[in-house]
Structure 1
Amino acid sequence: MDSRVAGRIRLTAVALSTFALSVGSVLPGNAAPKTYDYDALGDSFAAGTGVDPSQAYPNVLDGRMKIALDDFVAVSGATVQTMLTGQLGTLDEDTDVVTITVGGNDIEWGQVVLACLARPDPVCAAAVAQVEQGITAGLPALLEAAYTQVRAAAPDAHVVVTGYPRLFSPEYGAYTVPLSPDSSLEASVAEQQMMNDAADLLNATIRTTAEAHGFQFVDVTRRFKGHGVNSPDAYLFGVLDPAPFHPNVDGQHEYGVALRSQINPNSLRR
């Protein structure tokens, strides 16, 4: 080979190598992959009450779509106000993703369920009507104020608000829990439907308020359909379990799957 041609080949090879190194140093592929700081807020449904914390839905979501759980501060019994005073401090301008499940304790939902289990249908109907009044008249203002503060605390975060499941599957008949040979708790099919309708109203109210603030709402109703507390394949703990009417391991997993399937990675901050 002519020495001049060989020299040109060597120079070309050196130039190409230099170009490749310089391009590689600025390509995103060579940088550390972007992760998204995630904070989980809310009540016992978000805290995973009744299951090991590692099985709660924030940990089910952790690591997916490069979402990295930073602060897991959801706690059993939280109301909208106690969430603001006890959990909001974890949010800041570096927070990329926030999940919130809250509102059920503000309407004393547990008291309604107890009334329907222990008392006749008319008493249940009155309790449900009262809680529905609280949902429509009082809850929106609480949530509006909370969502405004969340946005101020985490101005660039993608905020996801979850709803609550229906507790019962009326297609499986009455939910009866014997307490002794002479007494039992029972939710008739009619009572179950009334409580499910109230849950739908609660979810609709949360959705409307969340979306008005630009937050994403994730509905878990479909994933729990057919898996109410009286189902042979329940996603919820029973009334005599340590965490009655809360998602069990399967239920928490379904919450996590719902979040993973509905969060669009392209909507997260780049």
Structure 2
Amino acid sequence: MRPSRSCLAALGAVTLAATSLLWSGSASAAATDYVALGDSYSSGTGAGNYDPGSGSCNRSANAYPKLWAAAHSTASFKFVACSGATTATVASGQLGALASSTTLVSITAGGNDAGFADVMETCVLHSTSTCQSRVAEAESYMRGTLPGRLDSLYAKIRAKSPSARVVVLGYPRLYKIVSVCVGLGNTKRTALNGAADTLDGVLAQAAGRAGFTWSDVRDEFAGHELCSGDDWLNAVTIPIDSSYHPTALGHRSGYLPALTGSAGLALQKQT
């Protein structure tokens, strides 16, 4: 028996309505509750176009968390990363942005604990041997004290957002070692690159212990360090706080792909 035209039309309407409901549910499920934590490498210091309301936190419209949120379906986005943050100040001042409903967290933290600014100042202003000694001191801290601080912070993040995918992003090497480049000598540059490698190794291990996702940015920045001729990092700048931080291009072409590639297939790109 052939169904009537009116019956087919009614069946089509029901199918369309069901499909619309399924699509709506899928879109809702894909929406992400994203919280961006961390220090200046996440806030966007050095990338310009800062939110005046962020004050000394220097949250930039060009920072990778803002770029990721703009390109993906987000139910909510909280950008609380702040220049100068340490593991302790992230724990005390930023974790209020997290909730049990949070589905994605990104974070850079640990560089300031190890004295990043002081290390750079020492290496820029003082002798090679003094630079090497200060780097060795920082690396000793990274290996001995920083792991416990990271474990404590990561446990607090997990307690507040038990279902979130947490992406821990690392730090790039600052220099490409070449025969001719104005500024620091290659011995200092090599020492500073070694410190970045030590820090990233400590961060990767801590992320693994916490069950978080580790995202190494050194591969994205390879060939775009200072002295490469295609730098994605600031050298010495005025204001001084932007020195040795990623540029807007560094966030867009370095950190953003590192986060996007680690954020999980369930976090669908907005069409």
Task: Give yes or no for TM over 0.5.
Answer: yes
- 1:1-270 pair list within 5 angstroms: 8-10=3-5, 12-13=7-8, 16-17=11-12, 19-21=14-16, 23-24=18-19, 26=21, 28-31=22-25, 33-34=27-28, 35-50=31-46, 51-52=48-49, 53-67=60-74, 70-171=77-178, 173-176=180-183, 187-242=184-239, 243-253=242-252, 254-266=254-266
Corresponding residue SS for 2:107:
strand
**Which consecutive residues of structure 2, in runs of 5 or more, have no partner in the other structure?**
50-59
Give, in whole Å, the separation in 2 of the partners of 1:211 and 1:65: 26
Q: Greater share of strand residues, 1 or 2?
A: 1
User: Aligned letter for 1:266?
Assistant: A
Q: What is the root-mean-square deviation of aligned Cα atoms in Å?
A: 2.2
Q: 1:240 to 1:65 in 2, by over 3 A?
A: closer
Corresponding residue SS for 1:170:
coil
Give, in whole Å, the separation in 2 of the partners of 1:155 and 1:219: 23
Shift of 1:199: 0.5
Corresponding residue SS for 2:143:
helix
The answer (yes or no) to whether the contact 2:104–2:263 under 8 Å persists in 1 is no
Aligned-residue sequence identity (percent) comes to 34
- Which protein shows a greater Rg? 1
Number of residue pairs matched by the alignment: 252
Give, in whole Å, the separation in 1 of the partners of 2:40 and 2:247: 12
Shift of 1:232: 2.2
**Which consecutive residues of structure 1, in runs of 5 or more, have no partner in the other structure?**
177-186
* TM-score of the pair, normalised by structure 1: 0.86
Shift of 1:30: 3.9
Give, in whole Å, the separation in 1 of the partners of 2:179 and 2:225: 9
Give, in whole Å, the separation in 2 of the partners of 1:234 and 1:102: 23
Match of 1:182 in 2: none
Give, in whole Å, the separation in 2 of the partners of 1:65 and 1:168: 32
* TM-score of the pair, normalised by structure 2: 0.85
Corresponding residue SS for 1:107:
coil
User: Aligned letter for 1:199?
Assistant: A
The answer (yes or no) to whether the contact 1:167–1:229 under 8 Å persists in 2 is yes
